[in-house]
């Protein structure tokens, strides 16, 4: 997904003279073809995130469409005011590509874990927030990205992620995709963003083995959120489950909850929100290890749903949760 | 004499020397300052000292240096001028009104609920304002992007970024300076309104900037200094920008905070006021008549 996204910037730049790439201090040789073929539109500006955002704004004020790329925590937290003022206040079409969204950089520790990127980006007026689920969907998204009139935060996953999206599902910014449609009249509805959609599809298989029908909705766009999809699928659902690789405070689950609270006319459905609790992750290892810590692996998602529905006793995973905390 | 009093005395000596430079204001400078006072009166508030120190810099830019078309503010061939120290906006509003970008009467609505003129300038509302500013340390990066855009397009517009001395405490300014120096942006001009006073007090006490010219040179700029109230000197200097053809320019304009209002000059307490006595407004007009 990461390489696809970066390569797509080059592809777009070949067709559209407005497209510019700006990196901070990324891998040697990154987009070397673009650097060779269009050096005036390729920039690598060093560890200067505040300036890079302002510079992108200046270019966008002159009609260009800059794609800015660095590590997700740095392109969100480090230069938050520049993102808010330079890009959002001015409503400029700058695209922020955040490497390592969520828990990707597990071995590098909490400074590099983008647990709050979705929460803080969606809080900004005029900002669009996108987290696709695989490389194929990234290609479909990037083709639409150049002409979107607002700034976009693009959360990248680890790379090499399983491809679960399909061409025939199409892609439109702001429109959720039904990845799996349950046939039961009162299904569980799993709602996810980014690669958590992939985990939810596997979780739905586990639930089916236990006789629980689950739909899976993929929200590649967290903002603007597809409120109609949320409401249509929440209506009559046995439970709505939001799954995100990030903080549950203000993130994707909060966005879904906002819609349900504001617009549900027949009372709220049972709501289960899975994600990172209010803490900085305190383990290393791999991304999978942290998914396991925060019960985001497919089996754990299925277990959380069954527990919440009273199908199994809660003790199993609560014991695990306590064991995972530091002494 | 305690340390604070000693510092005040030392600063007073330096500032008295500055005040003497270019102290005679001509009628046009007084007129533009009266427009600023009109805005202060309209809003009942505003950054007094921060606006008054800017007048001659902006006057010379708009009268003698910038290519601009008030009736076509987005004319692609214009030079760009970004007021990065957005809190000095009343000086910008005064010259924009004088040039016809905005109506003079708008000054009377400064900071009113539905005014186009807020306490910091917004590009979406005000013709002639290139970028919304207010939060400090953003303008030079905008300017870098705009100057690069000119280079990509083969345009010959120049980009002027006017910053405050307190503003350049911000690390983002020096990130932008690194970047401008690297790209050798000869079409980018950084102007510093060096009035020696920031909100909390004298710059040499809060965050000393010296040696300021050498700092800009170290970042790859050609740098020079000028009396920021001397219209002739400013005109002569800014007409020969860039200072060097292979690098960005930095012009350090030595100014007096509150220039033209003797009781406000060099007094940190006149950085910003959120109310005025009728007598204060009358006295300001009297100083400028």
For residues A197-222, b (16+ Cβ closer than 10 Å) or e, as one string?
bbbbbbbbebbeeeebbbbbbbbbbb
Same fold for the pair A2-155 and A172-324: yes
Strand partners, B222: B249
Residue of A20, A39, A54 best to disrupt the B interface, most CBs of B under 10 A: A54
| Superfamily of domain covering A2-155 | Thiamin diphosphate (ThDP)-binding fold, Pyr/PP domains (3.40.50.970)
Q: Pick from A118, A53, A136, A119: which is nearest to A89 by CA?
A: A53
Q: Pick from A168, A98, A164: which is nearest to A134 by CA?
A: A164
Average pLDDT, stretch A64-80? 98
Distance CA B172, CA B176 (A): 6
Residue B13's pLDDT is 57
State whether ipTM is beyond 0.90. Answer: yes
User: CA nearest A83 in B: which residue?
Assistant: B138
Instruction: Tokens 């609560």: give the residue.
Output: A318
Q: Pick from B104, B122, B91, B81: which is nearest to B29 by CA?
A: B91
Residue B170's pLDDT is 98
User: CA nearest B144 in A: which residue?
Assistant: A55
How near does any CA of chain A get to the CA of B183, in Å?
10
Q: Is B205 exposed, middle or buried (0-12, 13-18, 19+ CB in 10 A)?
A: middle
Q: Sheet of A271-276: strands edge to edge?
A: A177-180, A214-218, A188-192, A239-247, A271-276
Least confident of A229-238, B9-18, B135-144: B9-18
Query: Contact at 8 Å (CB) between B160 and B79?
Result: yes
Which listed CATH number (1.20.1250.20, 3.40.50.920, 3.90.550.10, 3.30.70.20) goes with A172-324? 3.40.50.920
Domain ranges of chain A: 2-155, 172-324
- Residue A146, CA distances (Å) to A94, A223, B83 in order: 9, 17, 30
Residues B129-181: pLDDT tens digits?
Answer: 999 999 999 999 999 999 999 999 999 999 999 999 999 999 999 999 999 99
User: CA nearest A64 in B: which residue?
Assistant: B149
Do the Cβ atoms of B151 and A58 come within 8 Å?
no
The token duo for B269 is 């307490």
Q: Confidence band (pLDDT; 50, 70, 90) for A267?
A: confident
Instruction: Assign domain B3-287 to its CATH architecture.
Output: 3-Layer(aba) Sandwich (3.40)
Residue of A17, A55, A65, A67 best to disrupt the B interface, most CBs of B under 10 A: A55
């Amino acid at each position: 997904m990461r390489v696809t996204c970066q390569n797509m910037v080059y592809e777009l730049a070949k067709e559209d003279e407005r497209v510019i790439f700006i990196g901070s201090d990324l891998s040697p040789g990154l987009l070397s073809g673009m650097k060779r073929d269009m050096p005036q539109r390729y920039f690598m500006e060093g560890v200067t995130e505040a300036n890079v955002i302002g510079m992108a704004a200046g270019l966008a004020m002159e009609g260009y469409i800059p794609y800015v790329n660095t590590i997700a925590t740095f392109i969100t937290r480090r230069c938050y005011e520049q993102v808010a003022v330079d890009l959002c206040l001015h409503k400029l079409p700058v695209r922020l590509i955040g490497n390592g969204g969520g828990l990707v950089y597990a071995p590098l520790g909490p400074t590099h874990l983008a647990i709050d990127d979705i929460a803080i980006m969606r809080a900004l007026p005029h900002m669009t927030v996108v987290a696709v689920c695989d490389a194929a969907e990234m290609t479909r998204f990037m083709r639409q990205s150049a002409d979107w009139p607002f700034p976009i935060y693009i959360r990248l996953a680890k790379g090499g992620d399983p491809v679960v999206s399909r061409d025939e599902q199409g892609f439109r910014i702001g429109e959720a995709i039904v990845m799996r449609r349950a046939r039961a009249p009162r299904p569980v509805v799993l709602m996810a963003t980014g690669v958590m959609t992939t985990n939810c599809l596997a979780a739905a298989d586990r639930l089916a083995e236990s006789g629980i029908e689950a739909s899976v909705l993929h929200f590649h766009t967290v903002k603007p959120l597809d409120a109609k999809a949320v409401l249509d699928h929440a209506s009559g659902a046995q439970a709505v489950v939001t799954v995100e690789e990030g903080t549950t405070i203000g993130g994707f689950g909060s966005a879904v909850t906002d819609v349900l609270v504001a617009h549900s006319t027949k009372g709220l459905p049972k709501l289960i929100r899975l994600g990172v609790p209010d803490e900085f992750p305190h383990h290393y290892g791999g991304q999978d290890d942290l998914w396991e810590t925060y019960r985001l692996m497919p089996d754990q998602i299925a277990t959380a749903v069954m527990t919440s529905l009273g199908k199994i006793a809660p003790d199993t995973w609560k014991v695990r949760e306590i064991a995972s905390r530091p002494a | 004499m305690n340390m604070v009093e000693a510092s005040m005395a030392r600063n007073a000596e330096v500032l008295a020397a500055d005040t003497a430079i270019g102290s005679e204001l001509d009628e046009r400078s007084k007129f533009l300052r009266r427009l600023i006072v009109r805005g202060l009166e309209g809003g009942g508030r505003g950054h007094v000292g921060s606006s008054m120190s800017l007048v001659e810099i902006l006057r010379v830019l708009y009268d003698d240096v910038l290519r601009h078309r008030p009736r076509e503010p987005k004319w692609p061939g214009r030079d760009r001028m970004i007021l990065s120290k957005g809190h000095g906006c009343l000086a910008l509003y005064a010259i924009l009104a004088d040039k016809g970008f905005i109506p003079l009467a708008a000054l009377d609505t400064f900071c009113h609920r539905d005014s186009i003129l807020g306490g910091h300038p917004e590009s979406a509302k005000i013709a002639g304002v290139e970028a919304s500013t207010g939060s400090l340390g953003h303008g030079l990066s905008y300017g870098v992007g705009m100057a690069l855009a000119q280079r990509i397009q083969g345009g010959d517009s120049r980009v002027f970024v006017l910053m405050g001395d307190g503003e350049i405490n911000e690390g983002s300014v020096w990130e932008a300076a690194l970047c401008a120096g690297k790209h050798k942006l000869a079409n980018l001009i950084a102007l510093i309104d060096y009035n020696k006073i920031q909100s909390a007090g004298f710059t040499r006490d809060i965050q000393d900037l010296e040696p300021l010219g050498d700092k800009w040179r170290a970042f790859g700029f050609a740098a020079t200094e000028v009396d920021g109230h001397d219209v002739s000197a400013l005109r002569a200097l800014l007409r020969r920008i860039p200072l060097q053809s292979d690098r960005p320019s930095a012009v350090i304009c030595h100014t007096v905070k509150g220039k033209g209002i003797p009781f406000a000059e060099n007094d940190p307490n006149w950085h910003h006021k959120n109310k005025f006595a009728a007598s204060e407004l009358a006295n300001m007009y009297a100083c400028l008549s």
